Amino acid sequence: MSSPSNTTTMPLAAKIGLYAFLIASALFFLAPLIVIVINSVKPMADIRSGSLLSLPSEITFEPWRIAWSSACTGLDCSGIRPGLMNSILITVPSVIISVLAGALNGYALAQWRARFADWLMLLILIGLFVPYQAMLYPTVKMLSGMGIFRSYWGIIFVHVVYGLPYTTLLFRNFYVGVPDEISRAARMEGATFLRTFWSVILPISTNIIVVVAILQFTGIWNDYLLGLIFAGNDNMPMTVQLTNIVNNSRGAAEPNVNMAAALLAAIPTLVVYFISGRYFVRGIATGAVKG
Amino acid sequence: MTHWFKRQMFRPVFTVVAFFAVIAIFFYGSIGWTFIMSLTKSTLIPRYDFVGFDQYVELMDNKRWIVSCINMVVFGLLFIIGSLILGSILAILLDRGIAGEGAFRTIFLYPLAISLIVTGLGWRWLLDPSIGIQAMVRDMGWDNFVFDWLTQPDRAIYTLVIASIWRSAGLVMIIVLAGLRSVDGDLWKAIRMENVPVWRAYVQVIFPGMRPVFASCIVLLMSEVIRGYDLIVAMTNGGPGISTEMPAKFAVDFFFARMNLSLASAASILMLLLSLLMLAPYLYSEFRRRD
């Protein structure tokens, strides 16, 4: 512990100030979540008569039920449930495939010590920062050519490919630190590169796999733009359906239903975050550059 | 042929080439295609009648583009400075062996797990004058209280700043905290011996020594600024009027809604150039470090 002065040696006033600031900040960070949670269980009457910050007169799960199964997006009133199913169906295979692709490519890059391997790294690093806008339209055209634009496999393909620089980089940095003897021993016994990767390297990569899987899960689950453009109407992810429900302001807007819908969309990634805090934090610095 | 193929499978180069073909096509091929489109006057569909840099000139005359760029600069500066300050303060305070550090960290970081769509909706509700903070304060008796930035064309941009800082300050905190924890304990001993006030020690000694840490924070935040799309869509949808439009949204709108491919392409290429320009010093130092 190298800290300059810690709470045990601090004067009382400073200590109070420190905790006061931290608690105030915690409130700032928690406020939106608290407001949304409270209002999602509030009857409409309470919302009409008071502000969002007032406590509910009674707790009702009606808004959750409506958000789940009967809120409207345009003419379709089946709630956010189809969006949730679509998000799961898109996210799960996308995460699995992009973890495998990133691991394989990252391992190959780490193994391959050619002169211009460094230049390939540069291409990947730049790829992390390319705004999607500079790729979107040609990608639409190419996917149309492949016959998968606005389809289930189309959106998965886009998530995997657009995620490649990032998954590759994370795995490559991990595999550079793995002793070469492991791969060499496998090769001596006649295992191919792919064989070595599958039965020797992958099993020792659990940590990095978890880190990448969590970040890809968060990123893909939370994606809006790619889903909107590439998924097609039958596969719209939850984020897109949520905005449709909220912006569908025919008749009286129902903030409590909207908030219940927003929570439903946020719960899966929040659960993953709370369960996997350490891994989430580990990948976060690299993860944040994506999207 | 099969023999050749089998031999290649022993080598990582095969995998690397396959993956880089995909990256080359979908990243760099798309960028090239977008650039070519930006030199034409394509509107609804790509047509390759070249007009040089006319679209770029056109952009400079486009009021919405100019407003978007100014907004991005204002938003970007405030967001980056705000996140750096709040994140650093939180990191400094958490670096004092306080009780409940883990809980505070969890609270400051959880917004990163939530999608920008839900973030935007949450803050939109909180800042909505008719139901949010303004309504609450009025309920408590201050009838004339006004906090209607969300609906004021010259203020709405600041609501985006608030929401973005809320989401990203935790990222800065965690990166800076890691940096602080790796500061040499002897340095603190020396500082204490010299009797320098703690705040001066941070400003004049500790933080200047952590320049690379802040550099990577800034790179991450800048790339978020340039690509900012989801938050705007969920929170203000560019309004009131065009007061919170930004380049990423400009490009998407002109690609997919307004069907002006060449103008959208030019806008995207400018976004890309800006990203690379911001990134250049960082990439340069990364490469220098490796050699």
**Residue A123 predicted with pLDDT over 80:** yes
Please list every residue in chain A whose beta carbon sits closer than 8 Å to the beta carbon of residue B43.
none
Give the structural domain span for B159.
62-290
Residue B53 placed within a domain: no
pLDDT at B18: 86
pLDDT at A285: 57
CB-CB under 8 Å, A221 with B34: no
Say how many residues make up chain A: 291
DSSP secondary structure of B18-35: HHHHHHIIIIIIHHHHHH
pLDDT at A113: 72
Question: From the list B122, B181, B227, which residue is nearest A262 (CB)?
Answer: B122
Of B271, B289, B287, B281, which Cα lies nearest the Cα of B215? Answer: B281
Whole-angstrom Cα distance, residue B113 to residue B200? Answer: 34
Mean pLDDT, chain B, as a whole number?
89
pLDDT band at A6 (very low <50, low <70, confident <90, very high): low
pLDDT band at A1 (very low <50, low <70, confident <90, very high): very low
Between A79 and B266, where is the model more confident? B266
Look up the CATH number of the domain holding residue B195. 1.10.3720.10
Q: Which residues pair with residue A160 across a beta bridge?
A: none
pLDDT band at B59 (very low <50, low <70, confident <90, very high): very high
**B197: three-class secondary structure by DSSP:** coil
Whole-angstrom Cα distance, residue B112 to residue B106? Answer: 10
Q: Crossing angle for the helix pair A238-247 and B116-127, nearest 10 degrees? A: 20
pLDDT tens-digit series, residues B143-161: 888 888 988 889 999 999 9
Among all residues of chain B, which has the CA nearest to that of A243?
A: B234
Optimal mutation site among A29, A139, A230, A241, interface B, most CBs of chain B within 10 A: A29
Task: Report phi then psi at B40, rounded to 5.
Answer: -110, -175
The answer, for A209 touching chain B at a CB cutoff of 8 Å, is no
Q: Crossing angle for the helix pair B261-290 and B30-38, nearest 10 degrees? A: 130
CB-CB under 8 Å, A281 with B264: no
The answer, for B223 touching chain A at a CB cutoff of 8 Å, is yes
Say how many residues make up chain B: 291
**Residue A169 predicted with pLDDT over 80:** yes
**Residue B170 predicted with pLDDT over 80:** yes
pLDDT tens-digit series, residues B87-99: 999 999 998 888 8
CB-CB under 8 Å, B248 with A131: yes
**Residue A161 predicted with pLDDT over 60:** yes
Please list every residue in chain B whose beta carbon sits closer than 8 Å to the beta carbon of residue A117.
16
Distance from the A266 Cα atom to the nearest Cα atom in chain B, whole angstroms:
6
Residue B230 placed within a domain: yes
**Residue B163 predicted with pLDDT over 50:** yes
**Residue A289 predicted with pLDDT over 60:** no
Residue B226 placed within a domain: yes
**Residue A173 predicted with pLDDT over 50:** yes
Read off the DSSP letter of residue A113: -
Counting other chains too, the contacts that A45-52 makes at CB distance below 8 Å and 24 or more residues apart are A47/A255, A47/A256, A47/B131, A50/B135, A50/B139, A51/B131, A51/B132, A51/B135, A51/B136, A51/B138, A51/B139, A52/A255, A52/B125, A52/B126, A52/B131, A52/B132, A52/B135, A52/B136
Q: Where are the domains of chain A?
A: 12-69, 81-287
Query: Whole-angstrom distance between the N-terminal and C-terminal Cα of chain B?
Result: 39
Residue B32 placed within a domain: no
Lowest mean pLDDT among B48-57, B67-76, B133-142: B133-142
| A98's tokens | 């992009």
- The CATH number assigned to the domain with range A81-287 reads 1.10.3720.10
| B114's tokens | 């939530």
How many angstroms from the chain centroid is the CA of residue B221?
A: 4
Residues B237-263, mean pLDDT to the nearest whole number: 92
Whole-angstrom Cα distance, residue B20 to residue A61? Answer: 51
Question: Any residues with CB less than 8 A from the CB of A24 and at least 6 apart, and which?
Answer: none
Of A227, A153, A120, A146, which Cα lies nearest the Cα of B28? Answer: A120
Whole-angstrom Cα distance, residue B236 to residue B216? Answer: 29
Of B226, B163, B25, B277, which Cα lies nearest the Cα of A157? Answer: B25
Between B178 and A228, where is the model more confident? A228
The answer, for A142 touching chain B at a CB cutoff of 8 Å, is yes
Residue B15 placed within a domain: no
Optimal mutation site among A129, A157, A257, A289, interface B, most CBs of chain B within 10 A: A129
| A60's tokens | 């009702």
Residue B112 placed within a domain: yes
Residue keyed to tokens 């064989």? A195
pLDDT band at A8 (very low <50, low <70, confident <90, very high): low
Exposure letters B66-93 (e unless 16+ CB within 10 A, then b): ebbbebbeebbebbbebbbebbbbbbbb
pLDDT at A249: 60
Please list every residue in chain A whose beta carbon sits closer than 8 Å to the beta carbon of residue B129.
none
Residues B189-196, mean pLDDT to the nearest whole number: 84
Calculate what percentage of chain A has a pLDDT beyond 90. Answer: 43
Q: Where are the alpha helices (DSSP H) in chain B?
A: 2-8, 12-23, 30-38, 54-61, 63-94, 101-109, 116-127, 133-139, 156-181, 185-194, 198-200, 207-209, 211-227, 230-235, 247-256, 261-290
CB-CB under 8 Å, A141 with B46: yes
pLDDT at A291: 36
pLDDT tens-digit series, residues B7-25: 555 577 778 888 889 999 9
Whole-angstrom Cα distance, residue B69 to residue B47? Answer: 27
Residues A264-284, mean pLDDT to the nearest whole number: 85
The CA-CA-CA angle for residues A276, B90, B111, to 5°, reads: 40
How many angstroms from the chain centroid is the CA of residue A138?
A: 25
CB-CB under 8 Å, B29 with A138: yes
In degrees to the nearest 10, what's the CA dihedral of B223, A291, A109, A153?
-160
User: How many structural domains compose chain B?
Assistant: 1
**Residue B211 predicted with pLDDT over 50:** yes
* ipTM exceeds 0.85: yes
pLDDT tens-digit series, residues A200-215: 999 999 989 999 999 9
CB-CB under 8 Å, A52 with B96: no
Distance from the A206 Cα atom to the nearest Cα atom in chain B, whole angstroms:
21
pLDDT at B24: 92
How many angstroms from the chain centroid is the CA of residue B27?
A: 20
CB-CB under 8 Å, B22 with A52: no
Lowest mean pLDDT among A62-66, A92-96, A126-130, B129-133: B129-133
Of A31, A77, A37, which Cα lies nearest the Cα of A262? Answer: A37
CB-CB under 8 Å, B31 with A262: no
Size of interface A-B (CB pairs under 8 A): 295
Task: Report phi then psi at A76, rounded to 5.
Answer: -90, 120
The answer, for B112 touching chain A at a CB cutoff of 8 Å, is yes
